[in-house]
Amino acid sequence: MSTLHALTTPTNNDSAHTLPTLRYKGGPLTHRPATIADLDQLSRLESECFPPEEAATRDQILYRIKTVPPELFITTWDNDKLVGFVNGTLTNSPDLTEESMSRHESKGSTVCIHSVSVAPDLRRQGIAYTMLLNYIIGIKNVHRMRPTYKRIVLLAHDNLIPLYTKAGFKVDGPSGVHHGPLPWIQCSMMLGDGGWAHDDE
C-alpha cells in the first residue's frame, strides 16, 4: 500500500505538464491492489461512473481481479471508503480493439487501461490525476525489474484528453472502437519516453 503523499514531486519544467494539485481534504488516501473482497464496492462504483452500455459487468470486474497481476488493478481508499480505482489488462495488439480489450493476454506487452473511476461526490479534486500517476509509477517499477511492459494505452472521450496528456500520455488519434454513443480517442505512453513520472530514466 502506498500513500499519495509518498509520490515524488515532478521535476519536468515543461509548462505543458502544469500539475493540478491534490485538493482533496479528506483523510490520507491509500492505494492497493484490488481483492475479491472489494467486488461489491467496485461493482457499485463502476455502475455509478459509467452508463450501462459502457460499464464493466460484475463478472468482468471479478475476472480482472482474479486474472491480472496486482499492479494492473489498483484501488484508492479513504479509510474504508472506496474513492476510486484504475484497472487494466494486457494485450499484444498494436491498437486497442473491442476484441483485444475483451481478454487479458498474460504475455502482452501493452497495458490497456479500461477504467479510471472516481466516486461522483469526490470529483475535480485531483484524485483521478493522482491515481493515474500512482498507477504509472507502479507499472514503471515492474518494468524496471522485469521489462516486459512496453507501453500503456487507453481510450478516452474528447473532454478528458487534458487529464491524460497532463499525466504524460500522447494522443494517437481516433480509435476504431465503437462502444457507447460517443467516439473514442486512443492515447498512449511508451515506457521510458518522457512524461513527468519518468524523469529518472
Binding site for ligand COA (CB under 6 A): 20, 49-50, 115-118, 123-129, 156, 159-160, 162-163
The residue among 135, 182, 180, 140 whose CA lies nearest residue 161 is 182
Q: Closest separation between CB of residue 148 and ligand COA, Å?
A: 24
Phi and psi of 60, rounded to 5°? -65, -40
CB of 131 to ligand COA, least distance (A): 8
- Tell me whether residue 7 or residue 163 sits nearer to ligand COA (CB atom): 163
Q: Which is nearer to ligand COA, 180 or 192 (CB)?
A: 180
Cα–Cα distance measured from residue 77 to residue 52, given in angstroms and rounded to the nearest whole number: 24
Measured from the CB atom, the residue of 103 and 123 that comes closer to ligand COA is 123
Q: Which of 152, 157, 184, 183 lies closest to 170 in space, CA to CA?
A: 152
Report the distance separating Cα 183 and Cα 65, nearest Å. 28
CB of 105 to ligand COA, least distance (A): 20
Nearer to ligand COA, 118 or 189 (CB): 118
Kindly state the helix (H) or strand (E) to which residue 98 belongs, with its residue range: helix 98-101
The least distance separating ligand COA from the CB of residue 130, rounded to whole angstroms, comes to 7
Beta bridge partners of 29: 78
